[in-house]
Structure 1
């Protein structure tokens, strides 16, 4: 069964789980996180790409709501990081990285939709 065909409560629960995991990763003290060595901006772009792509897998008809939520969530996370004082800080460049990740997911979604329409005709 394709993920977007799961019952709505299951899809919402899976997306809420993804948001919760990302929230924890973004608010725990930075000293408690492993350093994969790829840089903070890449980590942000990758995380927000996964968040948006997961949203599209679970709710492909929400083509505007998914990126809008992801970007609003990125803004919220930066606000939290700026007020926590646990070795985290708010950085506008992180928001740009979030935007890049979401944009890549949107382009992938649109390309997939276009390809699916071309195959169907």
Structure 2
């Protein structure tokens, strides 16, 4: 018997995804001086990796809703850029960050959508 995350109760799956979104929001909106020091990956690579992980988690938890997960992730990225432009805290909006987010989302879909039936064969 294997653990299939897509078979977990929906409220538990939504809670896990909400935690991931909350962490991402904190990383993207918190004042720069309160964040962990970057690992020199580059801002755009960090965006792509973060949105890859968020999208992959969403698709793993809800394989049938992969389109909705991708649209939500992209909308989240756009919303964060708008907030970064208006909140200050040493942040600034950058359309290239949104492009990097989109690349991360696309990469996650390329990896996971072909195997989504194995994730939830029902």
SS of 1:63 mapped into structure 2:
helix
Q: Which has the higher contact order (CA 8 A, sep 6+)?
A: 2
Alpha-carbon displacement from aligned partner over 1:61-115 (angstroms, at most 9, x marks no partner): 002101000000000110111111100000000000000000000101123248x
What corresponds to 1:13 in structure 2? 15
- TM-score, structure 1 length as denominator? 0.91
Shift of 1:32: 2.4
What corresponds to 2:101 in structure 1? 98
Q: Which runs of 5+ in 2 are unaligned?
A: none
Contact 2:58 2:66 in 1 (8 A): no
What corresponds to 1:35 in structure 2? 38
In the alignment, structure 1 residue 75 sits paired with structure 2 residue 49: no
What corresponds to 2:51 in structure 1? 48
CA RMSD of superposed structures (Å): 1.5
- TM-score, structure 2 length as denominator? 0.90
What corresponds to 2:25 in structure 1? 23
Pairs aligned (count): 116
